[in-house]
Every structure is written in structure tokens, then in C-alpha cells.
A and B are shown apart, each in its own frame.
Chain A
Amino acid sequence: MKKQSLILFTLLLSAIITYAQELKPNAIIKTNTATYITTGLHDGAMSVVNSKSNYHNKIPRNRNPDMTFELKDKSALLNAFTHVFSDERLKQLIPEKRMIMTFYVNPSGQVIEVSFIFNKNTAVTALELEDLEKAIKANVFIKIRPEEYKGQDFFDVGFIVVYSKVLDRTLK
């Protein structure tokens, strides 16, 4: 009887922990080393941002929407995704089509923060997001064109990744 209760308790705990990693609007989700805050947006999507974010919802000084941003290594973003998501997992995410991100980039081209927009029923978990954010910050670097740089303190760069392009490795 004691043993059965213990198993039941463990199963219940696992379910709670698993559920706790799901991203739901207007929630605070803790992972191993990070806490994510989700906010419902007007049209049913939600933004997800690390609670320690210093740049989300801030407007860069001297913002210039004429700038374009290429990756220094064009395969770096693909590699960050394949590092976190297996092909099987990507197949599960394909119905969601895409992940919308904002990279907060310093004038040297280093990604210092990432925020995300998902639909409110996303299957992506907070743990995956934590890994992805780490992988992007470690591997993705942006080319800053000196002729376009007009003294911004940081850049809020929109990137959209289509899952099917990660799965077939055509994200370039």
C-alpha cells in the first residue's frame, strides 16, 4: 500500500512538473536556471520573455528601421535550432509553422537577449526555450553595417524561423 502510494505520488509530481513547463499566457514559468514571463497579446498570441530582460519593450536610442541585419555565420541560427530540437520534435512543431523572435543585439553584433512570440497553444516548452536562448546567445552573431550604424545603443532585430526549414535544413 505504501509502495503504491509512493508511485502514485511520483507520477502526480511528474505530471505537475511537466505541465509546469508548458507556456501559457499570463504566467510565470520557472526552468532550471531561468524564469519566463508570458503575456497575452491583442490577437491571441503571447509574448515570452526572460524575467531578467533589460531590453524587452525598450526603444533603442537613435533607432533606425532602415537597417538590415545578416548573420555572420549563416548556418548559426539553423545550428542553434537543431541543437535544441530533434527532427522528431520539429515534426511535432510544424503545425505551428514558425517561431517569431526578437534578438536584442549590442553594437558589436552580439545577441544579448531574445524574446519570443508564440500562439497561445504552443507546444514549445520553457525548457526548450531556455536551451534555445542559450544556444542563440552563444552562437549567433549579427553583422552590423558601419554605413548604416547611427549610434544606436542596441538593436531590436526581428527574426522569424519556419520549423519546416529547420527540419529540411534549408534555413539560410
Chain B
Amino acid sequence: MKPQYFRSLNIRIFIFCLLLLCTALIIHSCKKNNADKTGENNLSQNINLAKAWYESTYPVNSKYSINRSVVRPGNSNLNSNLNSNPQLNSGFDYNKFIKPDWRHAASYTRFNAGVLELPIDPSSSEIGTALSISPHGNALYNPKYSRSSFLILNDSAGYHAYIMTIIADSAYVNNDLSILGRNKYNERDVDFSGVVLYSTPDGNFVNGWIYKNGNIVLALPPGQKQSSGAAVNTNTTITRSATKKGRFANHTLMLEIETCYTWYQTTTVNGVTSDPVVLDETCYTTYIDDTGGGTGSSGSTGVSGSSGSSGGSAPAPVPIPPCIVPAASPSAAALPGNRNMIRVVQTTGSGFPAPTSTTTAAPCPTKTTTTTQIDTIGSLMKNPNSLTAAQKAQIQAVLNQILQNCIGQATFNYFNSNNDKFDFEVNSAIAEPASYNPTTNVINIQNPATVTPAALQEELFHAYQNKTMPGGTAQYAGKAGDANIEFEAKLLRDITYYINPGTVGNEWAVSGDNYTEWLGTITNGGTSFPTSFTSSQLTTYFLYMGDWLNQNPGYSSDIINGNLNPTVMFNLINSSACSN
């Protein structure tokens, strides 16, 4: 039997050890974590250093307190405090109205510089920024969807401060303002559409970038207006709605079309809007072959950015051109051997470009590809002088779109390989957007600025019908068979759209679900062009031709020829890449 006191002693020792252990644990857990604290101290120190630099460079307190009392809704003197003398780079002085919220700084490193990204202090004035292309016109970018923040960059040259203003596109925001919070200096939505503007806190515009669906489409560098060759023709019709000016310059092989925009920024402080400030005039250039030569001529379509804009009725939204291409860029050059170089704008990854970027630096990365294209409009025209340079450029732009589908390409290939030419004439008196006259072999265009690829492609097909049908198509004018000529072209258009749909809709040749379903049947669910009809499909084809005449009064006088099958359509499809 164990003595009783041993048992009692063991318990006492155990309790003592346990208490000692607990005490040690408590003391250890209460001990300061020096490792963590070192990081916090460094961050705090960085912020304090940046704050000291900022407040000495941009002394906020005096200005801030003065202007807080001045800026109030309805104050007629506001504009004199904001900016009453708009001129290039004389911008909105943010420092008078807003200050950084140092307590909510985000710290990171980007582009080899330390970054402090700071929201606006809540006690600051409420500001909104708008961007437009006319001094008092509607804003292209609405101040409701803008958000500004401070950036303090610390690189080898020291500190630099910027105001970063993001103005989102209304379609991108889609009434959800929280989406703005997803876009910061170092992170950006992949489909961001809008503009990012950088300026110094005292209002000097630094640069800006316009995004569409996550891609930079335009740079706004102040005072970097592109210079071009001597203007030989002032043109106001090529992009008349949105263009301040357009001009042409003749080069050896290329027609150069320069399009310019002037960008105005207005800033709203507590509901009162400043006078517009001119940020920049940006220009972009479209190059079109101007040799006017025959088959196989060199040059062709060299596109510096987009194919440009072509008319339109409303100034907003502007057809936004891509990044500015420096005048000396090889992308504009024609190469020997029927080739040209095309500049392709790519996405820039997450985040926004650095305020220090220039047009030739990273934010507009490009790759240059060499492609072979044939002089398109020139090789179709019998008389190169039947169109003005502007009309030619506009029709060329439409033709470029047509050539992107296999039917359009096959139609063009036929004329090009047979050296078969006809003329384009502009005739505003015609009732349709475009028409083809098989007797004169002329394609008439009502307005080259508004003609659509679908309309022009249909007339090119009519020309193809005329050239390839035995005896041509003029023999059917006003006689049995003219309905067949038209309906065959309409069906080919519908098939092309059914297989390659976009956001341009059309009224099908025949109204009703059964015709639409039939298009699906003959195209194998929209996956392939039909290369022939079965006998039952041919019967259905003629039935729908009858419906088409009944439904569309403009064609009601046309007459069906029951023996004229859609052979031309199938010949074209079978000769094209569409049948592969």
C-alpha cells in the first residue's frame, strides 16, 4: 500500500507544473511580435515619408481650407476658382479640392517603383470627371461613372504624385457602380471599357488611355499630335460626325487619311461643373492603297489601327480608333511584292499603364505581321477615276469587311482572277442603298458613307450572276426569272448571316419561323454552306420564293421562272473556301 502523502504530493507537483506552463504560454503569447511589427513600422514609415514629401510639394492645408469655403453649389465664382481659361494642359487643380486618405493607403511595387495608392479623403469635395470631344457637347464618358485616387510613386528619381481618374463606359458599368472598385492602378477588369487619365495634383494633364473591352484603343498623350505629310485635300465627309478634320496625303503607294479628335475634360465639384479643359488632340491614320493599278499591283490595304470610321449620324459613341501609331512606324509602309505590314494592338495584362508611359512604350504593345493582300477596290474598277478619293476610301472599307467572309472572298476572287472589272458610281437618287445594272455593268451606291457590307455583297453577287449565267441576267429584266435572280441573292445573304451571325441583324428574305428553321436545315444547323439542294429542298426553295414575293411589296411584280434553279449560288459556294 502506497503512503497517502505520496499521492497528494504528486498531484501538487502536477498542478504546479501545469500552472507554470500556462503562465509561460500566456507570457509568450503576450510578447510583441517583432518580426510583424518591423513590416508595419516600415510601411508606416514609408507612408509618413511620402506624406511629408507630398504635403511639402503640394501644400494642401491652406489651399484646401480656402477652397472648401468657395466651392459650393450655385456659387457663380466657382469657375474662376476651377478653371476659366481652357487651354492645352492648363488643367483642373485637384489639390485645391481633394486630399489623400493616408489611413487607407495600399502599398505595392509596380514597374520598378514603390506605389502608394490612396483613395480621396472622405472630407474632401465630391468630384466627378467627364470627357468629351466637343467643348460643350455631351460627355462621351460620364462623370457619374468616374472615380479619382492618388498615386505616389517612388522610383530612383524620388517621389512623384499623380491623380488617377478612371471613367468607366456606361455600358460597362451597367448601373452597377461597385464595378468601379474592381479597377485600380495594379488591377483591372479584363473587359474594362472606359478611360484612365493621369494628371499631377495641381492639374497638369500627363496622359490617358481609352479602353474597349479590356484593350487599349487610344492613347491620349498631351501635345503629341501626329504630324503627317502635306495635306492635299481637306475632307469633312469621311468621318463627318466625329471628326474635327480629315485630310489626305499622297504617298507613293498609299492613300493616307488622318482623323483627329480634340478631347475636353470637365470636372464637377460638389455638383458644379468647371469650364472644359483641352487635354489633347489625337490623330490616327488609315492607309489605303492608292495605286489604282490593275491586277497584282503592289501596296493594298495597310491599316494603321482600324479601318477608320465612315460616317454615321450621332457624335457619340465615337468609333474609337486604336493606339496612335508613330508617324515613322513601319506599320504604315508598303512592302515590295504585294505585301504590307499590319500593326496589331494587343492587350496589356492586368492594371493600367504607368503615368510615365509614352505612346512608343509598353502600354501600346504591338506585333507587326506581314500579310499578303491584293489591291481590292482598284482591281474591280474599270475606271479608277469614277470615284473621288474619299468615296474610294469609304467603299474600300466596306469591301474589306466583305472579304472577311468566304462568299465575299470567292466573289472577289472570281473577278480578280478573270480580270473582270466594272464600275462603281455614287448616285444619291437611287431608291436602294446599292444596285447593280447588268446592262451598263455598274454598281450604283446611294451613299458610300452608309452602304453596308451586306448591301454591297449582294450587288457583287448580282454582278457575279450576270457574268456567269449563260446570256447574263439582263435577259430576265421584267420577265419570268427576275424573281429568281433576286431571291437567289437574298437566300445567299441569309445563309451567310445564318452561318456567321454578328450583331447586325437583318430582315430575312421571308418572314416567319419556318423559313428561319429551313435555313438551319440547309446549313446543317449553321455549320456548313449547302453545296446543292435535294429535290424536296428545291421544291421548298420555290415555295419560299413565292412567299417572298407575297410578303415584300417592293418585289411583288417580279416573276418566278420554275426552271431557273439556284445554280449560280451553288457554283460560287463550290468554288469557294466555304465548301471546305
Q: A: which residues have CB within 8 A of B?
A: 39, 41-43, 45, 47, 57, 59-60, 62-71, 73-77, 79, 83, 97-98, 100, 102-103, 115, 117, 142, 145, 147-148, 150, 155-162, 169, 171-172
Chain A nearest CB, measured from B241 CB (Å): 13
Assess whether B45 is interfacial by the CB under 8 Å rule.
no
Q: Are B513 and A158 in contact (CB under 8 A)?
A: no
Against A, the Cβ 8 Å flags (1 = close, 0 = not) of B551-562 are: 111100000000
Chain B nearest CB, measured from A144 CB (Å): 11
Assess whether B533 is interfacial by the CB under 8 Å rule.
no
Chain B residue at minimal CB-CB distance from A77: B503
Q: Are B508 and A158 in contact (CB under 8 A)?
A: yes
Q: Are A156 and B513 in contact (CB under 8 A)?
A: no
B271: chain A residues within 8 A (beta carbon): none
Interchain residue pairs with CB less than 8 A apart (16): A41-B517, A42-B518, A45-B517, A65-B506, A66-B554, A68-B455, A100-B516, A102-B516, A117-B513, A117-B516, A145-B450, A147-B450, A148-B433, A155-B507, A156-B508, A157-B505
Query: A145-B450, A157-B506, A158-B505 in contact; A59/B551 too (CB < 8 A)?
Result: yes
A103: chain B residues within 8 A (beta carbon): 505
Assess whether B521 is interfacial by the CB under 8 Å rule.
yes
A158 to B493, CA, bound (A): 13
Chain B residue at minimal CB-CB distance from A76: B171
Query: A43-B521, A57-B512 in contact; A98/B526 too (CB < 8 A)?
Result: yes
Q: Are B511 and A160 in contact (CB under 8 A)?
A: no
Q: Are B508 and A147 in contact (CB under 8 A)?
A: no
Assess whether B571 is interfacial by the CB under 8 Å rule.
no
A64: chain B residues within 8 A (beta carbon): 507, 552, 554
A101 to B445, CA, bound (A): 30
Chain A nearest CB, measured from B508 CB (Å): 5
B447: chain A residues within 8 A (beta carbon): 147
Q: Are B551 and A63 in contact (CB under 8 A)?
A: yes
Number of interface residues of B (CB under 8 A): 45
A167 to B10, CA, bound (A): 72
B458: chain A residues within 8 A (beta carbon): 66
A157 to B514, CA, bound (A): 15
Q: Are A158 and B432 in contact (CB under 8 A)?
A: no
Closest 5 A-B residue pairs measured CB to CB?
Answer: A160-B501, A47-B513, A157-B505, A159-B505, A69-B505
Q: B: which residues have CB within 8 A of A?
A: 171-172, 174, 191, 193, 213, 317, 432-433, 446-447, 450, 452, 454-455, 458, 490, 497-498, 501-514, 516-518, 520-521, 525-526, 548, 551-554
A70 to B455, CA, bound (A): 13
B490: chain A residues within 8 A (beta carbon): 65
B452: chain A residues within 8 A (beta carbon): 68
B498: chain A residues within 8 A (beta carbon): 160
B171: chain A residues within 8 A (beta carbon): 73, 75-76, 79
A83: chain B residues within 8 A (beta carbon): 174
Chain B residue at minimal CB-CB distance from A150: B554
Contact of B506 among A60, A63, A69, A75 (CB under 8 A): A69
Chain B residue at minimal CB-CB distance from A115: B513
Chain A nearest CB, measured from B534 CB (Å): 13
Chain B residue at minimal CB-CB distance from A72: B314
Chain A nearest CB, measured from B516 CB (Å): 6
Chain A nearest CB, measured from B187 CB (Å): 18
Q: Are B506 and A45 in contact (CB under 8 A)?
A: no
Chain B residue at minimal CB-CB distance from A62: B553
Q: Are A43 and B502 in contact (CB under 8 A)?
A: no
Q: Are A63 and B553 in contact (CB under 8 A)?
A: yes
B433: chain A residues within 8 A (beta carbon): 66, 145, 147-148
Chain A residue at minimal CB-CB distance from B190: A169
Q: Are B511 and A169 in contact (CB under 8 A)?
A: no
Contact of A43 among B503, B509, B517, B553 (CB under 8 A): B517
A150: chain B residues within 8 A (beta carbon): 554
A65-B490, A161-B501 known; 11 new pairs, CB 8 Å cut-off, are A60-B511, A64-B507, A64-B552, A66-B432, A67-B506, A71-B504, A97-B526, A100-B520, A147-B433, A147-B446, A172-B502
Contact of B503 among A47, A71, A156, A158 (CB under 8 A): A71
Chain A residue at minimal CB-CB distance from B550: A59
Contact of A159 among B174, B501, B511 (CB under 8 A): B501
Query: A43-B518, A158-B506 in contact; A65/B525 too (CB < 8 A)?
Result: no
A39: chain B residues within 8 A (beta carbon): 513
A102: chain B residues within 8 A (beta carbon): 513, 516
B510: chain A residues within 8 A (beta carbon): 65
A104 to B508, CA, bound (A): 13
A67 to B494, CA, bound (A): 12
Chain A residue at minimal CB-CB distance from B454: A68
B513: chain A residues within 8 A (beta carbon): 39, 41, 47, 57, 102, 115, 117
A171 to B504, CA, bound (A): 11
B548: chain A residues within 8 A (beta carbon): 65
Contact of B517 among A75, A97, A117, A172 (CB under 8 A): A117
B213: chain A residues within 8 A (beta carbon): 75, 169, 172
Q: Are A98 and B516 in contact (CB under 8 A)?
A: no
Chain B residue at minimal CB-CB distance from A158: B508
B193: chain A residues within 8 A (beta carbon): 75
Chain A residue at minimal CB-CB distance from B493: A65
Q: Are A63 and B503 in contact (CB under 8 A)?
A: no
A63: chain B residues within 8 A (beta carbon): 507, 511, 551-553
Contact of A67 among B501, B507, B521 (CB under 8 A): B507
Instruction: Indicate the member of A66, A117, A157 with the most B CB atoms within 10 Å.
Output: A66
